[in-house]
């Protein structure tokens, strides 16, 4: 009886530890784009954006501006402490290549 309780408790502890670490498709978060950027050919001006995640795309929204971009969603081995945006510079333009979502293990890849 005690072993059964211990196993159930351990499984419950693991489920609680991982709950909320990976945003599910349909969830959203906010990100600050600090410099003029390009994501899949669309220009993003500097500002705060709401990023809505789908299964294979994300939508950047800033007021009336909406930009959709295909994305590959990966899970990192550890949680990211803060949201970070990574760029690749090509032909003098900042191409958005990755967003690491703070407080989760989610990494969005755009290349």
pLDDT tens digit string along 13-22? 444 444 444 4
User: Do 49 and 62 touch, CB atoms closer than 8 A?
Assistant: yes
User: Do 104 and 80 touch, CB atoms closer than 8 A?
Assistant: yes
Confidence of residue 26 (pLDDT cuts 50, 70, 90): low
* Confidence (pLDDT) at 64: 86
* Confidence (pLDDT) at 15: 42
What is the dihedral sign for C-alpha 92, 71, 74, 79? positive
59's enclosing H/E stretch is strand 57-62
Task: Give CA–CA dist 31/99, Å, rounded.
Answer: 9
* Confidence (pLDDT) at 58: 93
Q: pLDDT tens, 52-80? A: 998 889 999 998 889 999 999 999 999 99
Burial class from Cβ neighbours inside 10 Å (0-12, 13-18, 19+) for residue 27 reads middle
């Amino acid at each position: 009886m005690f072993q059964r309780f211990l196993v159930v408790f351990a499984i419950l502890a693991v489920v609680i530890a991982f709950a909320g670490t990976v945003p599910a498709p349909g969830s959203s978060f906010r990100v600050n784009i600090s410099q003029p950027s390009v994501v899949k050919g669309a220009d993003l001006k500097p500002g705060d954006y709401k990023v809505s995640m789908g299964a294979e795309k994300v939508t950047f929204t800033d007021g009336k501006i909406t930009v959709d971009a295909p994305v590959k969603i990966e899970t990192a081995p550890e949680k990211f402490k803060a949201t970070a945006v990574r760029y690749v510079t090509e032909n003098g333009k900042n191409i958005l290549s990755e967003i690491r979502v703070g407080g989760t293990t989610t990494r969005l890849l755009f290349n």
